[in-house]
Structure 1
Amino acid sequence: MMKILTSICLATMISLGLMIVCTIISKTTIMDREKMSPFECGFDPKSSARAPFSLQFFLIAILFLIFDIEIAIILPMIITLKCSNIVSWATTMTIFILILIIGLYFEWKNGMLEWTF
């Protein structure tokens, strides 16, 4: 119990120390119009630096992350196949993949996967 309390106190003190050092070291900048504007070799910018972000690109990126995490979850499940009950393992895998397929179907039917400008 004493080791846990010591570890917690040490982690808290290190965190607080780092926050204090970062606050002392960091300098505040004065925000004015010249510093906030984008720099293009001394010339005025030709277009706005704050270009609109494509929402479709964001949705495709989120979809990629979901399926990427799915692979990270499925791979360990394949390894546990040897030491688990085959019925519970198959049920878990079927439900997991079914939820992903239903989500993909929902996105497809709502037109979230179509790349339009």
Structure 2
Amino acid sequence: MIIDYIPIILVIIVAAAFAGIVVLSSVIFGPKRPNKIKVMPYESGKDPIGTTHERISIKYYLVAILFIIFDIEVIYVYPWAVQFKSLFNDFGIFAFLPMFIFLIVLELGFLYILMKGGLKWD
């Protein structure tokens, strides 16, 4: 049984070794000529304005977290929707109920966020 996993383990070891060799070779053989322009922060080709310690609104992070949550919802719903016909043929209504409950819980969360004003960008 464990013998079946040896090719996978070998591929992981070879990939990790290759990644490590590439990173180390760039550190060892790469040019090291720092100057004032190279060590400056890069902001899309523009000169940086202000300090790097500016406060960012919490709403930026909230929208990012909400995007991740609803993106994960799609990751769960898409494979279920692709296999729904065969699931429905095998299990009947019991193939639909768990996903329906899952979607209702997520929709209630979305409505809660909407009511609290989490998506208003002021």
Fold shared per TM-score above 0.5: yes
Who is 1:55 aligned against? Answer: 58
Q: Indicate the residue corresponding to 2:98 in structure 1.
A: 92
**Number of aligned positions between the proteins:** 112
| 1:3–1:70 Cα change, 3 Å | closer
The answer for the alignment partner of 1:24 in structure 2 is: 25
Any runs of at least 4 consecutive aligned residues in structure 1 with deviations exceeding 4 A, and if so which? Answer: 27-36
**CA 14–91 in structure 1, closer or farther in 2 if over 3 Å, else same:** closer
Cα distance change, pair 13–72 in 1 and its aligned pair in 2 (3 A): closer
**Residue identity (%):** 24
Written as runs of structure 1 = structure 2, the 5 A alignment for 1:1-117 is 1-2=2-3, 4-26=5-27, 27=30, 36-38=39-41, 47-48=49-50, 50=52, 51-84=54-87, 85-116=91-122
CA RMSD of aligned residues (A): 3.5
- Measure the CA separation in 2 of the matches of 1:39 and 1:73: 38
Gaps of 5+ in 1: none
TM-score, normalisation: structure 1 = 0.64
| TM-score for both structures, normalised by structure 2 | 0.62
Q: 1:32 to 1:111 in 2, by over 3 A?
A: farther
Cα deviation code 1:8-53 (max 9, x no counterpart): 134313412430331132259698977544479xxxx683153443
Q: 1:6 to 1:38 in 2, by over 3 A?
A: closer
Q: For structure 2, which runs of at least 5 residues remain unmatched after alignment?
A: none
